Amino acid sequence: MTEEVLTADPEALFLDFFKMDKYRERLSSMAVAGSKSFVVDFDELLASEPKLAQQLMDNPDEYLEYANRAAKAQLQIEEPEYAEELGSITVRFRGLPETTPLRILGSKHIGHLVMLDGIVVRASPARPMVMEAAFKCKWCGAMSHVSQSGPFLTAPLACSAPECRRKSSFDFIQEESTFIDSQDVRIQERPEDLPPGQLPRWLDIKLLERDLVDAARPGDHVSVVGITRAVAARLPKVGQLRSFTLHLDTNHIDVESKEPEKVLITPEEEKQIRDLAKDPTIHTKVLHSLAPSVYGYEHIKEAIMYLLFGGTGKHFPDITIRGDLNVLMVGDPGTAKSQLLQYVAKIAPRGLYTSGRGTTAAGLTAAVLRDKTGGMTLEAGALVLADKGVAAIDEMDKMRTEDRVAIHEVMEQHTVSVAKGGIVATLNARTSILAAANPTLGRYDPYRTVGENISLPVTILSRFDLIFVLRDVPEATKDAKMTDHILDLHRTGVSPTEAPIEGELFRKYVSYAKNIKPVITQEALDCLKEFYLRMRSASETEGTPVAITARQLESLVRVAEARARVALRDKVTLEDAERAIDIMKISLEQVGIDISSHQFDIDIIMTGKPKSLRDKLSIILGVITTLEKETGMVDKERLLEKLQAEYDIMAGEAERLIGQMLKEGTLFAPRDGFLKKT
């Protein structure tokens, strides 16, 4: 087809294109849905009319108009009544042949049709915007209609009535004007597309028309087709600025599925993945592929493996049970915690890494910001952007207390609720959290409980499925191996152990495995049940601590499902359940042991105090209450004697416990050497 024919009548070419059965059906269904627009696949237009498609990309304003008119003409044939009622139709084009990176969008793209990929970071409320304004002359009352463009309302230059023609003042008549809904959305480069060390670029996109408004929420991955525009700000009394800002007038917005499971996997890669899963030693292979340059830490790497693959979430009409695992590492300085976190953020299909002190609640969840028009907009934080992925939070203990509260909801409910600045919203944050914390005293003290070792509230500790303690204990043989490993790394510059599954394939393996929904077999159920009931029955006798709670039972199920997923199995076997119990025991042994009685005690994580300590505290409080009835104020010396004589609590320990209660505010000292209950 020659260029002349094309320029002669593009509208006729579009009309021929819309006569395809597929588009005739789409046009007919518009009347049923009551919509004003319909979607065309750009690659189909490119296949049937390549030159028309090229012209559409180069001169979109003109050619979109042709397309809209042709669609209207075709609709008049299909549904004449609806076409009369509508007025105008918008044709939306989906999927241009190539995506323009946000980084290189510049002056050469102005006025062209482009496609951009990004992640929505903020969205303004929907606002009506005037398209054709009606003005009334103050002198003769004649009406003038002016088409609007640009950010400001423009009035007519002179009255339209021939007998008046005054350049007088005009009144804007709202009822006679036509409005459309508009919304400003900001998209930013995806974390995975970012060149190292660069700040992410962003672009404002304008969503005009009702069917585009609210199509995307903060945290969504989108693909946007639109016309690049450049606008310069006008300053009062100075005129227009020379530097312009770019934005996009959207023609079509496609919210890509947020599922990392939808990673593109070629048939060859799928075969590779399937072959890998048939290997009986697949768990060991995956384990050795995790951060191979970090020496040792088999248990922790195993826990991270389960965290990456995750269990399956259960959705019931009344409640939702999460499938993602949360893992916490507490450890001495120099135990490669941050290295593991950085690695996981890199290997996870969607991973984000943040570190303690610089992280605020708004940075983690969502910020409400005031935009230039004075309204409030919502901007997504790290946990929302890591939806369906892994958030690695380093130095969790260094975060401000008020910011840590933001994590509570995400860890259990998987949502982020915002209610500030007039915006009330709930965003999804289905994130696995891998966190690291340092002990309060610099080193982990094995003679103190986990709650005393880390300055994290028990409300957060109890939401972690697995907690591990990394202790730096000198040990001759292990130290010699570790030294060789580290020095080898420095000498050769390559990892001494080669990962059995390389990074890119490993990421695809994780994505592929996430499509599998393993079901628990009866023998696995019996195994978990038997372990849980055995641990519970040990706590039945009076005075023994509670070893395990329902939260740990759910964690066991999640770990067992994740292990089945690693081998791409759709059934959770007995072996999976046994391994889940083993790793749970390792975690409980490290953190859930009552130091004085050497029994499992989950209350250390759940309430922060082991049962033996709570018992002693209640004894002391009981004695103080009885002595108070006798003497009003309690003499400390007399109290210590009574505790040692009757309850075998030594003076030193009693002093420490009394000090703790004074600090907590349960007791107070009216004067030196005397105590009273508050």
Give tens-digit pLDDT for 545-555: 555 677 788 88
568: left (phi over 0), alpha (psi -120 to 50) or beta: left
| pLDDT of 601 | 54
Encode 46-113 in three state secondary structure.
Answer: HHHCHHHHHHHHHCHHHHHHHHHHHHHHHHHHHCHHHHHHHCCCEEEEECCCCCCCHHHCCHHHCCCE
| pLDDT of 1 | 43
Question: Are 339 and 301 a contacting pair, CB within 8 Å?
Answer: no
Average pLDDT, integer, range 454-472: 78
Q: Residue 469, class by beta-carbon neighbours within 10 Å (0-12 exposed, 13-18 middle, 19+ buried)?
A: buried
129: its two tokens: 């915007």
Closest by Cα among 120, 84, 310 to 207: 120
Domain boundaries, the chain: 3-94, 104-256, 267-590, 611-677
Q: State how far the Cα of 454 lies from the Cα of 602, in Å rounded to an integer.
A: 16
Average pLDDT, integer, range 583-610: 60
Least confident of 1-10, 131-140, 144-153, 535-544: 1-10
| pLDDT of 543 | 46
Q: State how far the Cα of 213 lies from the Cα of 130, in Å rounded to an integer.
A: 16
Question: Are 547 and 603 a contacting pair, CB within 8 Å?
Answer: no
Average pLDDT, integer, range 274-288: 82
Q: Assess whether pLDDT exceeds 70 at residue 254.
A: yes
Least confident of 4-8, 161-165, 215-219: 4-8
Least confident of 287-301, 446-460, 633-647: 446-460
Q: Assess whether pLDDT exceeds 50 at residue 435.
A: yes
Average pLDDT, integer, range 73-78: 82
| pLDDT of 610 | 58
Say what percent of the chain tops pLDDT 90: 1
Beta strand 327-331 pairing with 432-437: parallel
Give tens-digit pLDDT for 409-432: 888 788 888 887 777 878 888 888
Give tens-digit pLDDT for 476-487: 888 888 888 888
Average pLDDT, integer, range 143-147: 83
- Fold category of 104-256 in CATH: OB fold (Dihydrolipoamide Acetyltransferase, E2P) (2.40.50)
| pLDDT of 206 | 85
Q: Assess whether pLDDT exceeds 70 at residue 123.
A: yes
CATH no. for 611-677: 1.10.10.10
Cite the beta strand spans of 200-350 per DSSP E: 202-208, 221-231, 234-235, 239-240, 245-255, 314-315, 320-321, 327-331
Backbone angles phi, psi at 607, to 5 degrees: -120, -10
Q: Assess whether pLDDT exceeds 70 at residue 249.
A: yes
The overall average pLDDT reported for the chain is 79
Give tens-digit pLDDT for 180-236: 888 888 888 877 677 777 788 888 888 777 778 878 877 778 889 999 988 887 777
| pLDDT of 361 | 65
Q: State how far the Cα of 574 lies from the Cα of 52, in Å rounded to an integer.
A: 62
**pLDDT tier, 2 (very low <50, low <70, confident <90, very high otherwise):** very low
**pLDDT tier, 644 (very low <50, low <70, confident <90, very high otherwise):** confident
| pLDDT of 542 | 47
Q: State how far the Cα of 279 lies from the Cα of 300, in Å rounded to an integer.
A: 23
| pLDDT of 591 | 66
| pLDDT of 544 | 47
CATH no. for 3-94: 3.30.1640.10
Given this chain, do its domains 3-94 and 104-256 carry the same CATH topology? no
Question: Are 580 and 560 a contacting pair, CB within 8 Å?
Answer: yes
Statement: 267-590 belongs to CATH 3.40.50.300:
yes
Any idea what DSSP says for residue 262? G
**pLDDT tier, 3 (very low <50, low <70, confident <90, very high otherwise):** very low
Average pLDDT, integer, range 435-457: 74
Query: What is the DSSP track for 437-488?
Result: E--TTSS--TTS-HHHHS---HHHHTT-SEEEEE-----HHHHHHHHHHHHH
Give tens-digit pLDDT for 600-617: 555 555 555 556 666 677
CA geometry: angle 529, 531, 533, nearest 5 deg: 65
282: left (phi over 0), alpha (psi -120 to 50) or beta: alpha
Q: Assess whether pLDDT exceeds 80 at residue 537.
A: no
Q: Does the predicted model carry a pTM greater than 0.85?
A: no
| pLDDT of 346 | 79
